[in-house]
C-alpha cells in the first residue's frame, strides 16, 4: 500500500482549508433567501456555466470516466455527442418555462401546470435521487483513496462531508459557485498533469497511445440497435440525450444555477458556454482512460497483479505510484474538488427544494424575518449534510462499476421525472391524474426491470434485458404514454403558483 508524504498531506489540507475559506468569505452576502439560494440573481453567464459543469462533474466522474474507458474502451465516452442534442433543446424549449414566472425551484412549474400534489411528488423524487447521488459522490472517492493512499474510509467520508457542509451552509449559492469555479480549475489542471506524465512514459508518446487504442479496438462503437447491449451508437445519441436532459432540464441542481443569472438570455448563454467547456473537459477525462490503458499495457496491469481491486481505483493508483512527492497531494485534492463541488451544489439544491417546495408551501406558521429564514435554510443544509454522510456508508451495495451505478439511479428516478416535465410543457391534454399515474407507472416499470436484471425474482441472475443507459428514455416514454392514456378528456388543472 502506498502512503502520502508529509508534503502531500500539507498540500491536500491546504486545499481543503482554502475551500472552507471561500465559503466563510461568501457568507457575508446572504441576507435573504434570494441571496442564499440564487446569489441575488446576479451571476454572470461564464461563472454560471463553470458552476453547472463543476456541479455535475463529480468525483465519481473524475474516477469513473477514465476507469470505464480503461476497462471497456471508449464506447461510453461517445455520450458527449448527445450534449449537442440536449443543450439546444433545453435552451430553446425548456429554460423559458422556468424563467417566465421567476421560480425558485424547477418544481414550482409543475404546480402552476398541474397541482400541488404533482409539485410535491417531483420535488420529493428529486430529493431522494440527489441524496443517493451525493452519498455515492462522497463514498466512491473515499473508497478509492483508502485503497491506494492508506487514508481510512471513515476519516475521508467525514472530512469531505463535514467541510463541504460547513462552507455550503455558511455561504449559500455564492459560496457554491465560487468554490465550483476554483475546484473546476484544480481538477482540470490536475488531469492535465496526469496525462502529460503518463504520455512521457509511454513508447511513442501520444502517437503510441493512439496506435495502442486502434490496434486493440478501444475506439470501436457498435452500430446495432439492441437495448440489451451495454453501449451502441443509438444508446449514446438517443438514450444519452435523455440522460443529459434529466440533469440539465429537470434537476434543481442545474435549474437553480440558471436562475442565478440576471436574465433569460444570460441563462441561455451560460448553457452554450457550458457546452463548449464540457467538450474539452470530457474528452480529456475519458481520454485519460486510453492513456492509462496504454501506460499499463507497457508497465503491467495493476488489476491483474492484484494491486488494486477495481478499475475505479486505477487513477488514484497511478497518481500515488508514478508522481513525485507533492503532486499526489495536489491531484488527490483535485478528486476531492470534484466531489466537494458536487456535494455543495446538491446540498444547496436539496435545501432550496425543501424550503420552497415544502416548508413555505405547506407551513401556515409565520416565516419570520429574512435573517431567520436564511438561518433556517442553513440548518436544513446541515441536516442534509448529516444525512448524506450517513448514506455514504451504505452505498457500497450498489451493483456494477461507478458509471453504471450512478446512471442507473439517474434513470430510475430521473426518467419518470423528465416525463412529468414533458407532459406539463409539451401537452395540453395531460391532467393531474394522468401525471401522477404516469410517473408511478414509469418508476415501477423501471424498478421492476432493474430488480429482475439483478436476480431479485430468480435464483440465477438473468441476462440483461435493457442496458442501464436506456433507463432515462424508457422512463420518460412510459410516464408520458400512461399519463396521456389516463388523463381522459378533462381540461388540464391549474395549480396555485406560489
Instruction: Of 4-8, 133-137, 303-307, 343-347, give the lowest mean pLDDT range.
Output: 4-8
Does residue 462 surpass a pLDDT of 50?
yes
Over residues 152-175, the pLDDT tens digits come to 778 888 887 888 888 777 766 666
| Residue count of the chain | 498
Task: Read off the pLDDT of each residue in 168-188 and give the average, rounded to a whole number.
Answer: 74
Does residue 486 surpass a pLDDT of 70?
yes
Percent of the chain with pLDDT over 90: 23
Q: Is residue 410 part of a domain?
A: no
In CATH, what number is assigned to the domain containing residue 381?
A: 1.20.1730.10
- Cα–Cα distance measured from residue 260 to residue 52, given in angstroms and rounded to the nearest whole number: 11
Does residue 303 surpass a pLDDT of 60?
yes
| pLDDT tier for residue 443 given thresholds of 50, 70 and 90 | very high
Q: Is residue 462 part of a domain?
A: no
Q: Given this model, what pLDDT does residue 436 score?
A: 95
Instruction: Using DSSP, state whether 355 is helix, strand or coil.
Output: helix
- Cα–Cα distance measured from residue 196 to residue 191, given in angstroms and rounded to the nearest whole number: 9
| pLDDT tier for residue 496 given thresholds of 50, 70 and 90 | very low
177 neighbors 19 (Cβ within 8 angstroms): no
Q: Is residue 133 part of a domain?
A: yes
- What is the rounded average pLDDT for all residues in the chain? 81
| pLDDT tier for residue 241 given thresholds of 50, 70 and 90 | very high
Chain centroid to Cα 461, Å, comes to 29
Q: Given this model, what pLDDT does residue 495 score?
A: 47
| pLDDT tier for residue 26 given thresholds of 50, 70 and 90 | low
Q: Is residue 56 part of a domain?
A: yes
Residue 342: which domain range? 6-397
Does residue 419 surpass a pLDDT of 90?
yes
Q: At what angle do helices 240-249 and 471-485 cross, to 10 degrees?
A: 70
C-alpha cell at 25: 468569505
Q: Is residue 295 part of a domain?
A: yes
Q: How far is CA 367 from CA 101, 265, 269, in A?
A: 22, 32, 35
Overall number of domains in the chain: 1
Q: Which residues pair with 43 in a beta bridge?
A: 261
* 82 vs 377, higher pLDDT: 82
Instruction: Of 29-38, 428-437, 470-479, give the lowest mean pLDDT range.
Output: 29-38
Does residue 43 surpass a pLDDT of 70?
no
Q: At what angle do helices 402-426 and 432-453 cross, to 10 degrees?
A: 160
Instruction: Of 145-149, 207-211, 494-498, give the lowest mean pLDDT range.
Output: 494-498
Over residues 272-285, the pLDDT tens digits come to 888 888 888 888 88
What's the CA angle centered on 403, arms 401 and 407, to 5 degrees?
A: 120
Q: Is residue 406 part of a domain?
A: no
Does residue 148 surpass a pLDDT of 50?
yes
Q: Is residue 448 part of a domain?
A: no
Give the position of cell 404533482: 118
Q: Given this model, what pLDDT does residue 411 score?
A: 84
Q: Is residue 376 part of a domain?
A: yes
Q: Given this model, what pLDDT does residue 493 score?
A: 45
94 neighbors 421 (Cβ within 8 angstroms): yes
Amino acid at each position: 500500500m502506498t502512503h502520502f508524504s508529509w508534503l502531500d498531506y500539507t498540500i491536500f489540507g491546504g486545499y481543503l482549508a482554502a475551500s472552507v475559506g471561500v465559503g466563510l468569505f461568501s457568507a457575508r452576502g446572504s441576507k435573504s433567501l434570494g441571496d442564499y439560494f440564487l446569489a441575488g440573481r446576479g451571476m454572470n453567464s461564464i461563472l454560471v456555466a463553470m458552476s453547472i459543469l463543476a456541479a455535475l462533474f463529480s468525483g465519481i466522474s473524475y474516477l469513473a470516466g477514465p476507469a470505464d474507458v480503461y476497462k471497456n474502451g471508449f464506447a461510453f465516452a461517445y455520450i458527449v455527442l448527445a450534449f449537442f442534442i440536449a443543450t439546444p433543446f433545453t435552451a430553446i424549449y425548456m429554460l423559458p418555462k422556468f424563467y417566465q414566472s421567476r421560480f425558485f425551484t424547477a418544481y414550482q412549474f409543475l404546480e402552476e401546470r398541474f397541482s400541488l400534489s404533482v409539485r410535491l411528488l417531483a420535488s420529493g423524487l428529486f430529493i431522494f435521487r440527489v441524496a443517493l447521488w451525493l452519498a455515492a459522490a462522497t463514498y466512491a472517492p473515499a473508497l478509492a483513496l483508502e485503497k491506494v493512499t492508506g487514508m481510512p474510509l471513515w476519516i475521508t467520508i467525514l472530512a469531505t462531508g463535514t467541510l463541504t457542509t460547513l462552507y455550503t451552509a455558511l455561504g449559500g449559492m455564492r459560496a457554491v459557485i465560487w468554490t465550483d469555479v476554483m475546484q473546476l480549475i484544480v481538477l482540470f489542471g490536475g488531469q492535465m498533469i496526469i496525462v502529460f506524465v503518463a504520455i512521457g512514459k509511454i513508447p511513442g508518446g501520444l502517437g503510441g497511445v493512439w496506435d495502442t487504442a486502434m490496434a486493440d479496438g478501444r475506439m470501436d462503437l457498435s452500430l446495432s440497435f439492441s437495448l440489451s447491449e451495454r453501449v451502441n451508437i443509438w444508446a449514446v445519441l438517443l438514450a444519452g440525450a435523455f440522460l443529459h436532459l434529466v440533469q440539465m432540464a429537470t434537476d434543481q441542481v442545474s435549474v437553480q444555477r440558471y436562475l442565478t443569472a440576471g436574465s433569460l438570455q444570460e441563462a441561455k448563454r451560460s448553457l452554450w458556454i457550458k457546452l463548449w467547456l464540457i467538450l474539452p473537459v470530457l474528452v480529456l477525462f475519458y481520454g485519460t482512460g486510453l492513456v492509462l490503458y496504454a501506460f499499463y499495457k507497457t508497465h503491467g496491469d495493476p488489476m491483474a497483479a492484484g494491486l488494486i481491486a477495481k478499475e475505479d481505483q486505477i487513477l488514484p493508483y497511478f497518481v500515488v505510484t508514478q508522481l513525485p512527492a507533492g503532486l499526489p497531494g495536489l491531484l488527490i485534492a483535485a478528486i476531492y474538488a470534484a466531489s466537494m463541488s458536487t456535494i455543495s451544489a446538491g446540498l444547496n439544491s436539496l435545501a432550496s427544494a425543501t424550503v420552497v417546495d415544502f416548508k413555505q408551501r405547506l407551513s401556515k406558521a409565520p416565516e419570520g424575518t429574512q435573517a431567520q429564514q436564511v438561518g433556517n435554510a442553513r440548518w436544513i443544509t446541515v441536516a442534509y449534510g448529516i444525512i448524506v454522510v450517513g448514506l455514504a456508508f451504505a452505498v457500497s451495495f450498489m451493483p456494477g462499476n461507478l458509471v453504471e451505478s450512478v446512471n442507473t439511479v439517474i434513470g430510475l428516478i430521473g426518467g419518470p421525472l423528465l416525463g412529468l416535465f414533458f407532459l406539463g410543457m409539451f401537452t395540453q391534454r395531460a391532467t393531474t391524474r394522468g401525471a401522477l399515474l404516469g410517473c408511478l407507472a414509469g418508476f415501477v416499470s423501471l424498478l421492476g426491470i432493474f430488480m429482475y436484471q439483478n436476480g431479485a425474482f430468480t435464483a440465477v441472475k438473468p441476462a440483461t434485458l435493457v442496458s442501464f443507459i436506456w433507463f432515462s428514455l424508457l422512463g420518460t416514454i412510459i410516464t408520458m404514454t400512461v399519463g396521456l392514456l389516463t388523463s381522459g378528456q378533462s381540461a388540464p388543472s391549474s395549480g396555485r403558483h406560489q
